[in-house]
Chains A and B, each alone.
Chain A
Amino acid sequence: MMREQVAQTLASNMAPTLLALRGVGKVFSNGVTALSDVDLTIREGDFLSLLGPSGCGKSTALRLIAGLSTPTSGVLDWRGGGSLDRANIGFVFQEPTLLPWASVFDNVWLPLRLKGISRAKAAPAITEMLARVHLTGFEDAVPRELSGGMKMRVSIARAMVTKPRVLLMDEPFAALDEITRFKLNNDLLELWQDERFTVVFVTHSVFESVFLSNRVVVMAARPGRVFDELAIEASYPRDEAFRTSPDYAALCRQASDVLVNAINSTAGSHHDGH
Chain B
Amino acid sequence: MTVIDGTLKLDPEEARRVRQERLERIGRWVLPLAIMVLAIWLWDRICVWNEIPQYILPRPGVVLTTLYNDAGLLFSALLVTLRITFLSLLLAVVGGVGLAVLFAQSKWVEMSFFPFAIVLQVTPIVAIFPLINIYVDNQTTKLLLCAWIVAFFPILSNTTLGLNSVDRNLRDLFKLNGATRWQQLRYLRLPAAMPYFLGGLKIAGGLSLIGAVVAEFVAGATGQSSGLASRIIEAGYRLNAPRLFAALFLISLTGILIFLVLSLISHLILRRWHESALKQER
A binding-site residues for B, Cβ under 8 Å? 66-68, 86-87, 89, 91, 93, 95, 97, 99-102, 110-111, 113-115, 142-144, 162
Query: In the complex, A144→B273 CA distance in Å?
Result: 7
Q: Known contacts A142-B273, A144-B273; is A99 also within 8 Å of B191 by CB?
A: yes
Query: In the complex, A93→B191 CA distance in Å?
Result: 21
Judged by DSSP, the binding face of A is: loop
Q: Kindly specify which of B10-18, B68-76, B91-99, B165-173 makes contact with the partner chain.
A: B165-173
Q: Kindly specify which of B81-89, B134-142, B177-185, B215-223 makes contact with the partner chain.
A: B177-185
A101: contacting residue among B175, B272, B278, CB under 8 A = B272
Q: Which has the most chain A C-beta neighbours within 10 Å: B176, B183, B188? A: B176
B182-196 interface with A by 8 A CB criterion: 183, 187-188, 191, 194
Q: What is the chain B residue whose CB lies nearest that of A170?
A: B169
Query: In the complex, A93→B274 CA distance in Å?
Result: 22
B129 adjacent to chain A (CB < 8 Å): no
Q: How large is the interface on B (under 10, 10 to 19, 20 to 34, 35 or more residues)?
A: 20 to 34
A86: B residues at CB distance < 8 A: 176-178
Query: In the complex, A39→B170 CA distance in Å?
Result: 30
B259: A residues at CB distance < 8 A: none
B174 adjacent to chain A (CB < 8 Å): yes
Q: Known contacts A86-B178, A97-B167; is A91 also within 8 Å of B273 by CB?
A: no
Judged by DSSP, the binding face of B is: helix
B179: A residues at CB distance < 8 A: 114
Q: Known contacts A86-B177, A111-B177; is A101 also within 8 Å of B172 by CB?
A: no
Does A101 lie within 8 Å of B183, measured CB to CB?
no
Query: In the complex, A272→B172 CA distance in Å?
Result: 34
Does B173 lie within 8 Å of A144, measured CB to CB?
no
Does A100 lie within 8 Å of B177, measured CB to CB?
no
A87: B residues at CB distance < 8 A: 178
Query: In the complex, A115→B180 CA distance in Å?
Result: 10
Q: Closest approach, in angstroms, between the C-beta of A267 and any C-beta of chain B?
A: 31
B120-173 interface with A by 8 A CB criterion: 167, 169-170, 172-173
Q: Closest approach, in angstroms, between the C-beta of B267 and any C-beta of chain A?
A: 14
Does A101 lie within 8 Å of B273, measured CB to CB?
yes
B191: contacting residue among A67, A97, A101, A115, CB under 8 A = A101
Q: Which has the most chain B C-beta neighbours within 10 Å: A66, A97, A102? A: A97
Does A91 lie within 8 Å of B272, measured CB to CB?
no
A66: B residues at CB distance < 8 A: 176
Does A110 lie within 8 Å of B187, measured CB to CB?
yes
B174: A residues at CB distance < 8 A: 114
Q: What is the chain A residue whose CB lies nearest that of B278?
A: A144
Q: What is the chain A residue whose CB lies nearest that of B184?
A: A114
Does A143 lie within 8 Å of B177, measured CB to CB?
no
A-B contact pairs, 29 of them (CB 8 A): A67-B176, A68-B176, A86-B176, A86-B177, A91-B172, A91-B173, A91-B176, A93-B172, A93-B173, A95-B169, A97-B169, A97-B170, A97-B173, A99-B170, A99-B187, A99-B188, A99-B191, A101-B272, A101-B273, A110-B187, A114-B177, A114-B179, A114-B183, A115-B177, A142-B273, A143-B273, A144-B273, A144-B278, A162-B177
